[in-house]
Structure 1
Amino acid sequence: MENTDRQERPIVLCIGGHDPSGGAGILADAESVLAASAFPVTVVTALTDQDTCGLRDLRPQPPEQLDTQCRRMIADSAPRAIKLGLLASSGIVRALSRIIDESPGLPVVLDPVLATGAGQHLVDAALLNQLRKHLLHRCTLLTPNLPEARTLTDGQSPDDCAARLLSSGARWVLITGTHDDTEQVTNRLYGANGDHRAWTWPRLPGEYHGSGCTLASAIAARLAWGMAMEDAVASAQSYTWESLNQAFRTGRCQLTPNRLHHLTPHSPSR
C-alpha cells in the first residue's frame, strides 16, 4: 500500500561527465543535491580517465543514448530542475537543446566546464561554437568562473562578460572569482532584469577538485525546492564554502570537497 504521507523530495536531473575519483562530475553533483535533501537522477555525457591530479582521456557517450536516457528520466521522475556540466560533444549539445525546449519552465543550470581544475582544456572551437549557438540562451543560470566567461564571450571584466552572456539570452549569470589573484573570492550575480549582487568570501588555502560542480548543483537543488534565484545562489555559496573548508584528501593532488559535511563520519555498525 502506497504511503501518501511521506514527504516528497524534488528531483534534479544531473547531466555531466563521470569522474572516477568522485571529486567532480556526476558523483559531485549527486552529493550536492542529496545534501540539499533533494534527489539526483543522473545521465552520463562522457566517461573520463582522471584522478585528483588531472585528466588523461575523455570518451563522449553517443548523443542518441543520452537523448533516450534523459527523456526516460524526465518522463519517469518529473525533475524540477536540470543541472548541466561537462557536455563532451557537439551532438550532445544539440540533443540537450531539444530536450530543454520540450521542458518549458524547468530551471536549467549550466556549469560550462571548459577546463579541468588542473587547467586542461575540455572543449575545442567547434564545441564552443555549439555552446554559444544552441545552449547559452536556453539556460536559466550560467555559472562560469572568470576565465570561462572570457572564453565564452571574448570579454574581459566580469561586468562586460556578464552583459554579453545576458545579451545572448541567458536569464541569470553567476561569475565566480575563484581564479582571481585576490585575497578574497568575489562572486557576482547578474540578472537580465538588471539585478546585480556580489558576495565576498575568505579565500581558502589549497586546490580543490569539483568546486564548480558543487556550487552549480547546490543551486539547482535549491531551485528545485522553489527558492528564488538570489536566495538559492546565496545559500548554495554558503554550503559550497563550508564544503571546501572541510575538504579532505582522497588522492595525491587536489582536495575533495566534503559535500556531506553535515554527516559525522563513523565506522559502520557490526
Structure 2
Amino acid sequence: MRTYYPVLTIAGSDSSGGAGIQADIKTMSAIGCYAMSAITSITAQNTTGVRSIMPVTPTVVTDQIEMVMTDITPLAVKIGMLCNAEVADAVATCLSRYSPANIILDPVMVSTSGSVLLEEDAVEVLVKKIFPLSTLVTPNLAEAKALTGETDLTRQIDRLREMGCRNILIKGGDSGNKDFKIDYLYLGERDETIELRADAVDTKNTHGTGCTLSSAIASYLAVGNSLADAVRLGKLYVTHALEEGSWITTGKGHGPLNHFFSPRRLKNFNPNRR
C-alpha cells in the first residue's frame, strides 16, 4: 500500500498566514509531504507585528501530539514556537516517549517584527530537555548569541554542543551583508563545520523565513535525504521562495515568502487580475 511522507509541525499559529503553523504546512505541502500539526499557541499578528499571544494548555498540546503519533507516525518533526515552560516541558515529555527519528528544532525566541515569542523560563526547558532530543537545532545569529552568551562562531558551536546539540545550523540571514548570506552547519558525526553560502535576496518579504527553512529541512529528511543534503535543499527552497515572493506586496510590513512558487504558474501570473 502506498503512503504519504508524513511530517509533524509543533508550533504556534500565525493569523496572517506567513509564519508558524501556516508557513510550515505550506512548505511541507509544496515539497510533497503530508503535513500534520500540534498548535502550541495562538497569536494575533500580521505583517507589521504581534498584538497578542494565547498559549494552548499543555494537556491539549500533549493530546495533539499523541493523537498524531499513535495513528500517523511522522518521518520528521519540526518544532517552532513553544511560548512558555509548561508547553515546552509537555512537548519534551511527549517526544521522549515516542522518539521520532528526525527532530528539527527552530528555537523561536523573537519574531521578525521584534516581538518576544519565548518566555525566559522556557529557555531552560528548551536547553535541558529538547536540545538533546533534536537531530538539528537552527538558531539565527541573534538566537545563538542569546542562548550561548558568545559572539564568536566557534565558541557558539562549542557551547551549543555542551548543551546537548548534536548538529547545529547557525543561520546568517539576519547579518548585515547585502551581497550574500552565510549559514554554518556543524555535523556532529563528522565533527565538521560546513559553510553554506547563498546570494542575498533584496526584499522586505521575510516574514516566516526561519519557520519555512526548518520545515523544509524536516520535509527533505522525511523523503530520504541525508542531513547535509536536506539542509542544502532547504536553503535552496527558501532562496527561491524569497526570490519569487520579493515582487509581491502582501500587507504593510514584512510580507511572506512565496511558498508555492512555480515557473509554470509564475509565467502565466497576471498581477492585475484579482
**TM-score (normalizing by structure 1):** 0.93
Residue 8 in 1 paired to residue 3 in 2? Answer: yes
Match of 2:54 in 1: 59
Q: Is the 8 A contact 1:166 1:191 kept in 2?
A: no
Indicate the residue corresponding to 2:82 in structure 1. 87
Give the counterpart letter for 2:16 in structure 1. S
Query: 1:195-210, aligned counterparts within 5 Å?
Result: 195-207=192-204, 208-210=206-208
Q: Distance in 2 between matches of 1:107 and 1:97?
A: 14
- Deviation of residue 126 (structure 1)? 1.1
Query: Is residue 2:255 matched to residue 1:255?
Result: yes
How many angstroms apart in 2 are the aligned matches of 1:124 and 1:68? Answer: 22
Structure 1: stretches of 5+ with no match in the other structure: none
Q: Aligned ranges for residues 58-137 of structure 1 at < 5 Å? A: 58-137=53-132
Q: What is residue 156 of structure 1 aligned with on the other side?
A: 151
1:185 corresponds to which of 181, 186, 189:
181
Amino acid at match of 1:227: N
Instruction: Say whether the 8 Å CA contact 2:41–2:83 is kept in structure 1.
Output: yes
CA contact (8 A) 1:206 1:255 kept: no
Query: Could you tell me whether the CA contact under 8 Å between 1:146 and 1:158 is conserved in 2?
Result: no
Q: Residue type matched to 1:186 in 2?
A: I
Contact 1:18–1:27 at 8 Å: present in 2 too?
yes
Q: Is the 8 A contact 1:218 1:236 kept in 2?
A: yes
Using the aligned pairs only, state the percent identity: 30
The alignment yields a C-alpha RMSD, in angstroms, of 1.5
Which of 233, 236, 256 does residue 235 from structure 1 map onto?
Answer: 233
Report deviation, 1:131: 1.3
- Residue 123 of structure 1: CA displacement? 2.2
- Runs ≥4 in structure 1, deviation > 2 angstroms? none
Query: Per-residue displacement from partner, 1:103-147 (whole Å, max 9, x unpaired)?
Result: 225210011110000112222321122212221121110111010
The SS at the match of 1:259 is coil
Question: Is 92-101 or 139-148 further displaced after alignment?
Answer: 92-101
What secondary structure sits across from 1:190 in the alignment? strand
Distance 1:249 1:158 in 2: 35
Instruction: Tell me how far apart the structure 2 counterparts of residues 16 and 123 of structure 1 sit (CA, whole Å).
Output: 12
Pair 1:38–1:176, CA change in 2 (3 A): same
Unaligned residue ranges in structure 2 (runs of 5+): none
